[in-house]
Amino acid sequence: MLTDDLDERLRGIVGSQGLIEQRAEFERYCVSFDGVFRGSARYIVRPSSTAQMAAVVTACRRAGIPMVPQGGNTGLAGGAQPTDARSVIISLERMRALRAIDPSNDTMTVEAGMTLADVQMHAARVDRLFPLSLASEGSCQIGGNLSTNAGGTQVLRYGNMRSLTLGLEAVLPDGGVWNGLRGLRKDSTGYDLKQLLIGAEGTLGIITAATLRLFPRPRDFATALVGLPTPAAALDLLHLARAHLGESLNAFELMRQECMKWVLVALPGAIPPFAEEYPWYALIEAAGQGEPGTLRSPMEEALSKAMEEGLVIDGVLADSEAQRRRLWALREGQAEAQKAGGAGIKHDVSVPVSQVPEFIARADAALAKVVPGIRPFAFGHVGDGNIHYNPMPPLDVEPQAFTQRREEINRIVHDIVADLGGSISAEHGVGQLRASELAHYKSGVELRAFRALKRAFDPHGLMNPGKVLT
Amino acid sequence: MLTDDLDERLRGIVGSQGLIEQRAEFERYCVSFDGVFRGSARYIVRPSSTAQMAAVVTACRRAGIPMVPQGGNTGLAGGAQPTDARSVIISLERMRALRAIDPSNDTMTVEAGMTLADVQMHAARVDRLFPLSLASEGSCQIGGNLSTNAGGTQVLRYGNMRSLTLGLEAVLPDGGVWNGLRGLRKDSTGYDLKQLLIGAEGTLGIITAATLRLFPRPRDFATALVGLPTPAAALDLLHLARAHLGESLNAFELMRQECMKWVLVALPGAIPPFAEEYPWYALIEAAGQGEPGTLRSPMEEALSKAMEEGLVIDGVLADSEAQRRRLWALREGQAEAQKAGGAGIKHDVSVPVSQVPEFIARADAALAKVVPGIRPFAFGHVGDGNIHYNPMPPLDVEPQAFTQRREEINRIVHDIVADLGGSISAEHGVGQLRASELAHYKSGVELRAFRALKRAFDPHGLMNPGKVLT
């Protein structure tokens, strides 16, 4: 089939509403939201049903045209931008239906283009919680969350996107529709295909719908912000809090002094939480089904024990929902804080939870050696061992001169991560950004297995090429 | 390579201790523990290290000899018995080392041959919980638990084996050693190979070690046994209990009147929990990190509300650890109860939790039609939608005449399960037992994907042939 025929064929499948014709509109799909990744595409197609999606994939496969599935285009790794200008971007934005909701099974089935915020909202309407929560939830889509195995601030308790998913529907690279929309807690019938598609960033097929787990809505919250001397103290506090609060511990977020400083600059009207500054801060939250106030006393016990032991210097426990929101704003404003503070070089890494202090100490020391005066900026999900380690340029260095040393700095940070048994991409995915790093750090055995999987599903290499595997 | 050379080659790799020579000892490996599955093998090899395992796999692959990995040989689906008499059984029983334990990361790394009970014991020694719990835990091995994605009684809270695993080491069919022993909560670097090997029943490679998640040890338990009118009441009670107890709800186990009757016969010294008999029973447990006694009052509240609403007829709340153990014995004795009651035809099925009452009603009615007087025997994990639906022969029918109708009865039960969006194998795996049922119920798209995966990993079909895929 000639690609000119493909034009007509695609129009026939998705209709004129489903095909973006105006070149002016292409930018919104071809460029990542932050402007970092810029690609070109031949077509932008927006199927409105799984049947249309299957027909689009079949047509592109026959024409030998690369396909780039795209959700809300909020990714940080360039996974949704084409690397090949002949590509078709396949947007999921018209597939956003709520297909079913079964509160008695604690599940809902949604199409992949539904935004995360809408998923949360539909769950809340039946008095349930869908716990995935992250900064871009207003515009990111659940299909993108699935394809990157998204994390966020509630992983400590509820796990990441993989743990929140019971079933999937997907169009495989050969155009076949796999209906795996099972709402089952236990199913041992052969290979678990959904696990392969989750986190595959669209390189093995296109997720079109998912059956998601719902949870009881917490009625009681205990939220604290504390000042800490060191990351080691934060780790000890995590264990102490877990001993007192068990699985009710929702979040345990660490922030550096530098992060607090800049978030107070970046957020209009933000009030410093303490009279003094501390080297580190942790935002800790427990949530439960009990009467409001139930978790306050175990949280207080944990914190006062931590103060006795010198783990915590100072602390504040939210007295109201408004105060709780104010404490969370300090954590949620970290992307803005980073922007206010200067151009950081971002690392989304994880290590074993026990190795977080060691990682921070080694990375700080190694970078200070090669870039004297480098400003440490680091925050993240200590309970998951996931640190967003984003050092900023020294005050006397031009941001551009600093970011030109990106590769050198990446290698230093990632070598330490690898040495500690960690991951160079904890929750943002690989995309284009980390594809060569992945090839560098993975073993030959693992890369061979990856390539064998890719060949088995996508022998012609048409599904999101240039992402994950180089 | 000739197979005679293989003999020498294997001896050279594993030494004489690693090769079972006495034919009399073969039975222990070739026959399943319950005598149901009987196979033959050419060799039984017991490597004592991953390096030995890799060499054994390479030697067998070169000789074109099928390999059957075997753990504790406690499986119920014949997954560990050869279907080809030329096979080598590769036992993991000499690979049982504790490689590492990191309480501060809440992980431990163990070799695949360690028994589940030993895994639990090592966790308890560092004041942690490894929550997988099932009847054969004294002899089943963690590698077998992984390969069947085992479930058990704590899945409601902690998930199944898949959820409890952070990393794996495996020997792939080409003899390569994949070291994926990562103790990370978040890792988005490409395809998640461990998810493919978990539940693959040794058909894609041999798991040699795993990094497992540990949890805080509960200090407080609230355990109740209640009598119920119907499965629908049990479902309502589950939701009510979850609303009051949240994720502290550990177990919600349903048993039929027939199950209670026979467990009282089978367990010496067992005392009936209530003066009267009830149509259904549920064992409910919550556990937490709070002071002992903390969960008693929300459990009491949930139960008294359930009584008001007519969901519960009668109930008893354990007053001591001894009483708690006595209540659990009634649930844990169900395998013995089944034996005492007569030869049942077993089904390990799951449906959406909301469909459990519908499944039981439809299966009961359909079977009563074709086998008048059939005795219903059903228990299971309602919170997971997983029912062990094992009807027993009518009192006036010979057990053998009944079990000869196995295929007819399986089809009736499994058709209802399929119609309700369920699984024909919830937690016991596929093995030989359900391989043709799997081929019957899976879609063509899914079977094609399974076969593509199998070919990608094991192009010569030497890894546990005849299991999962027919």
Look up the ipTM and state it.
Answer: 0.96
CATH of B220-336 given 3.30.70.2190, 3.10.20.30, 3.30.365.10, 3.30.43.10? 3.30.70.2190
Query: What residues does A281 pair with on adjacent strands?
Result: A227, A255
Q: Who contacts A26 (Cβ-Cβ below 8 Å, separation ≥6)?
A: A20, A40, A41, A44
Which residue in A185, A417, A432 has the most chain B C-beta atoms within 10 A of its own C-beta, making it the best mutation to test that interface?
A185
Res. A420: pLDDT tops 90: yes
pLDDT digits (tens, 9 = 90+) for B222-281: 999 999 999 999 999 999 999 888 888 999 999 999 999 999 999 998 999 999 999 999
Question: Under CATH, which architecture does the A98-216 domain have?
Answer: 2-Layer Sandwich (3.30)
Range of weakest confidence among A177-181, A216-220, A325-329: A216-220
CATH architecture of B342-428: 2-Layer Sandwich (3.30)
Residue pairs spanning A and B at CB distance below 8 A: 266
Q: What is the pLDDT, as a whole number, of residue B1?
A: 47
Per-residue tokens: B470: 């027919």
Residue A416, classified by CB atoms within 10 Å of its CB into exposed (0-12), middle (13-18) or buried (19+), is: buried
Say yes or no for a CB contact (<8 Å) between A188 and B148: yes
Q: Taking the domain A220-333, which CATH number applies?
A: 3.30.70.2190
Same fold for the pair B220-336 and B342-428: yes
**In the structure encoding, which two tokens stand for residue A118, read together?**
């809408």
What is the C-alpha separation between B428 and B381, in angstroms, rounded? 13
Query: Shortest CB distance from B186 goes to which of A423, A445, A456?
Result: A423
pLDDT at A57: 98
Share of chain A above pLDDT 70, in %: 99
Phi, psi of B196 (to 5 degrees): -75, -40
Which residue of B163, B164, B188, B236 is the best one to mutate when testing the A interface, meaning the one whose CB has the most A CBs within 10 A? B188
DSSP state of B247: G
Tell whether the torsion through CA atoms of B201, B205, B209 and B214 is positive or negative. Answer: negative
Give residue limits of the domains in chain A: 3-91, 98-216, 220-333, 342-427
User: Fold for domain A342-427?
Assistant: Alpha-Beta Plaits (3.30.70)
Q: What is the pLDDT of residue A1?
A: 47
pLDDT of residue A98 exceeding 70, the answer is yes
Average pLDDT, chain A: 95
**CB-nearest partner of A186 from B107, B193, B427:** B427
Q: Which amino acid is at A66?
A: P
Alpha-carbon distance of A248 to A265, in angstroms, equals: 32
Six token digits for residue B363: 């299966």
Nearest to B193 among A151, A438, A449 (CB): A449
* Nearest CA among A457, A429, A466, A467 for reference residue A171: A457
Provide the edge-to-edge strand list for the sheet that holds B98-102. B98-102, B107-111, B206-213, B165-171, B177-180
Q: Measured between CB atoms, which of A190, A290, A445 is closest to B450?
A: A190
Largest CA distance in chain A: 74
Report the greatest alpha carbon distance in chain B.
74
CB contact under 8 A, B352 and A193: no
Mean pLDDT of chain B: 95
Q: What is the pLDDT of residue A381?
A: 95
**Position A397 confidence tier, pLDDT thresholds 50, 70, 90:** very high
> pLDDT digit string (tens) for B274-322?
999 999 999 999 998 888 998 999 999 999 999 999 999 999 999 999 9
CATH tag for A3-91 (out of 3.30.230.10, 3.30.43.10, 3.90.1150.10, 3.40.50.970): 3.30.43.10
Measured in angstroms, the CA of A314 and the nearest CA of chain B are apart by 24
Kindly state the average pLDDT of the residues B1-15.
84
Q: CB A353 to CB B196 under 8 A?
A: no
The Cα B371–Cα B358 span in angstroms is 20
pLDDT at residue number A3: 56
Please choose, from the candidates B105, B37, B108, B111, the residue with its C-alpha nearest in 3D space to the C-alpha of residue B71: B111
Residue of A nearest to B178 (CA): A445
Taking residues B52-72, report their average pLDDT.
Answer: 97
pLDDT tier at A4 (50, 70, 90 boundaries)? low
pLDDT tens-place string over residues B373-414? 999 899 999 999 999 999 999 999 998 999 999 999 999 999
Q: Which of B191, B208, B382 to mutate to test the interface with A (most CBs of A within 10 A)?
A: B191
Q: Among partner residues A290, A350, A441, which is closest to B185 by beta-carbon distance? A: A350
B425 with A192: Cβ contact below 8 A? no
Q: For residues B93 and B114, give the distance between their C-alpha atoms in angstroms, rounded to a whole number.
A: 8
Q: Which of A124, A123, A144 is nearest to A134 (CA)?
A: A144
Tell if the CB–CB gap between A191 and B200 is shorter than 8 Å: yes
Residues paired with residue B227 on neighbouring β-strands, in sequence order: B281, B314
Inter-chain touch A106–B430, beta carbons under 8 Å: no
Interchain proximity B429–A188, CB inside 8 Å: yes
| A76, amino acid identity | L
